[in-house]
Structure 1
Amino acid sequence: MSLFWRVFLLNAAVLSGATALLVLSPATVSTPVLPAEGLILVAGLAAMLVANALLLRIGFLPLRRLTRAMTTIDLLRPGSRPPVAGHGGIADLIKAFNAMLDRLEIERATSNARALSAQEAERRRIARELHDEVGQSLTAVLLEMRRVSDEAPEAVATALHQVQETTRDSLDEIRRIARRLRPGVLEELGLASALKSLTAEVRGGAARCRIDGELPELGEEVELVIYRVAQESITNAVRHAQAARIDLSVRVERSAVRLRIRDDGVGIGDAAEGAGIRGMRERALLAGAVLAVEPAPEGGTEVRLDVPIQNGSGR
């Protein structure tokens, strides 16, 4: 039954009930209308309006639920669907909306996969250029400055030595940036070693890593998702939350690998909808994982990533 006929029949039921009540009741209407009769008419009209409002509210309740779902749905948190309820056109409308969400989630996942793949390729290219071109150029500069300082007067040699130290620090920083852009340790030694290396890079020993259980074969893309989420979480904790302590833990269960990063910083604040966290959510979708970024119980921020394991192995 279409929405038009549902509304029409609801109103018809109210009017028919009011007409039947008027016919069967002993009430009469005089000319001019007496005060008591006017009160009866007003009461009858109010009763009709209330009955009509209640019936329409019940009839349009599925539409209210659909409206609420439209305003709160988030494609970065897939799976949420309004229940199919109602009759006729309302149920068809909810089904069409759910089907549209399915298509949007598939299209978004596909486009995100292409975009993140292109991003990783660009990271590898930049890291390779930093290492092969800039790194080698600075190394050549260091060697040349060492040769010149050996032949220069003592005052000039001292100044050149200071420049050498500055250049060497710059070379170390470039190599560190290259490693962050292209995690070679992830490809060569695996996820566990990459996560330990990631926490070891935090200055002052502020980050600790604990891995409970042996990590299964998750696949290159899934391991990269876990690594990038951990990397972004640690970067946010150090740069934005001014955290003095960061705890990274990985627990292997029968059905999932659970990553937890907790810090004692100032909290997420307005960064809850920042580009970094949205990027983590998009990466989590690629692995079919569930990501949560919430305030930690003792203060600071806790990032939770649950990556499902299919058939007891990896993806």
Structure 2
Amino acid sequence: MSLFWRIFSMNAAVLVVAAVLLLGPWVTVSSPVVLREALVVIAGVLCMLVANGLLLRVGLAPLQRLSRAMASADLLRPGGRPEVTGHGEVAELIETFNTMLERLETERATSSARVVSAQEAERHRVARELHDEVGQTLTAVLLQLKRLADTAPDELRDGLRTAQETTRDSLDEIRRIARRLRPGVLDDLGLVSALRALLDEFAAPGITVRHHFGPGLPPLGHEAELAVYRVAQEGLTNAVRHADASRIELWLRRAADGDAELVEVVELVIEDDGHGLRGADEGFGMRGMRERALLVGARFLVESGAGRAKSTDGAGGTDGRDGTGGADGTGGTTVRLLVPVERESR
């Protein structure tokens, strides 16, 4: 039965019951209307309205649940689907919405994969040009400054030495930028060595950076390793630049995830003692980490202070653990990435 005929039937049933009561011996109306009869008619109208409202609420409840699901749908948190309830057009509408949402998630995953691939290719190109073009040019300038400083008069030698040091610092910075754009150590020495080198870059006075690499880490695919590295890079950047953290700890270990289909995972954890998210909306960096997690079928969780972890995975669930960021349990941020092992190592 369509939604139209269901509502029509409910209203018709209420009116028919009212008409039967008026035509039967139970309710009579005289002329002029006496107070008792008027009260009976008013009570009957109120009963009709209440019955009609209850029937409409029951009939339209699936549409209200669908409306809430549509308002809360987020393609970066896939898997959530409203339950198909009701009959006829209502059930077909919910099924159509679920199909549309699944198609949009698939299309977003495909487009995100293309964007990330193009982004990595562009980073590789920029890093190569910085290393080959700008780096070689600065190296040539550095050699020329050294030759001039060796033969220059004493009154010019100090200035040339200063320019030489400035050029050397610029060359080192160019090389650091190139390494961040394209971590060659990740391709040459693996994920653990790449993370160690990344942590060394964020070590600075006033910031304590520690790492804990678990034994027996299983091999991951290239895309998964790159996702782990980029999430670590973005998490460390957020902790240093935005959270004003003084202590950062990183774990990479083999773990078990009972909420996922594949129990065995490689877990990346980045914990800092900064001021936490403080209710701020997610920026491009956080959304980029979620997209990278989705591309490799991983779960991404963010915990701030004593709040409950929020996750992004195929089921759209949470891991049920309380946040542990911050030394006193009230601040800091903890980022977790759980990469399934079997899916990547087949």
* TM-score band, normalised by shorter chain: over 0.9
Query: What is the CA distance between 1:22 and its match in structure 2?
Result: 3.4
Equivalent in 224, 242, 245 of residue 243 of structure 1: 245
**Counterpart for residue 202 of structure 1:** 202
**Counterpart for residue 317 of structure 2:** none
**Counterpart for residue 255 of structure 2:** 253
**Counterpart for residue 345 of structure 2:** 314
**Counterpart for residue 292 of structure 1:** 301
Query: What is the CA distance between 1:193 and its match in structure 2?
Result: 1.3
Residue 26 of structure 1 aligns to a residue whose secondary structure is: coil
Question: 1:271, 1:277 within 8 Å by CA — same for their partners in 2?
Answer: no
Letter in 1 for 2:8: F
Letter in 2 for 1:207: V
Distance 1:252 1:203 in 2: 25
Question: What is the total number of aligned residue pairs between the two structures?
Answer: 314
Letter in 2 for 1:8: F
**Counterpart for residue 40 of structure 2:** 40
Question: Does 195-204 or 123-132 show the bigger shift?
Answer: 195-204
Query: What is the CA distance between 1:192 and its match in structure 2?
Result: 1.3
Does 1:301 find its partner at 2:330?
no
What is the alpha-carbon root mean square deviation over aligned residues? 1.5
Trace 1:22-41 onto structure 2 (pairs within 5 A): 22-24=22-24, 26-41=26-41
Instruction: Give every structure 1 segment of 4 or more consecutive aligned residues whose post-TM-superposition deviation is greater than 4 Å.
Output: none
1:202/1:151 Cα in 2 relative to 1: closer, same or farther (>3 Å)?
A: same
Trace 1:256-271 onto structure 2 (pairs within 5 A): 256-269=265-278
Residue 60 of structure 1 aligns to a residue whose secondary structure is: helix
Letter in 1 for 2:154: E
Residue 55 of structure 1 aligns to a residue whose secondary structure is: helix
**Counterpart for residue 124 of structure 1:** 124
Say which structure is richer in helix: 1
Question: 1:262, 1:296 within 8 Å by CA — same for their partners in 2?
Answer: no
**Counterpart for residue 99 of structure 2:** 99
Residue 61 of structure 1 aligns to a residue whose secondary structure is: helix
TM-score (normalised: structure 1): 0.96
**Counterpart for residue 287 of structure 2:** 278
Flag structure 2 segments of 5+ consecutive residues without an equivalent. Answer: 257-263, 307-328
Q: Deviations over 1:204-263 (max 9, x none)?
A: 262211122322221101110111011001011111111111111122125211111111
**Counterpart for residue 227 of structure 2:** 225
TM-score (normalised: structure 2): 0.87
Question: 2:212, 2:251 within 8 Å by CA — same for their partners in 1?
Answer: yes
Distance 1:129 1:185 in 2: 18
Distance 1:179 1:18 in 2: 81
Residue 176 of structure 1 aligns to a residue whose secondary structure is: helix
Does 1:212 find its partner at 2:203?
no
Flag structure 1 segments of 5+ consecutive residues without an equivalent. Answer: none
Query: What is the CA distance between 1:187 and its match in structure 2?
Result: 0.6
Question: 1:206, 1:246 within 8 Å by CA — same for their partners in 2?
Answer: yes
Distance 1:183 1:100 in 2: 38
Trace 1:75-224 onto structure 2 (pairs within 5 A): 75-204=75-204, 206-224=208-226
Distance 2:147 2:280 in 1: 50
Query: What is the CA distance between 1:149 and its match in structure 2?
Result: 0.4
1:92/1:155 Cα in 2 relative to 1: closer, same or farther (>3 Å)?
A: same
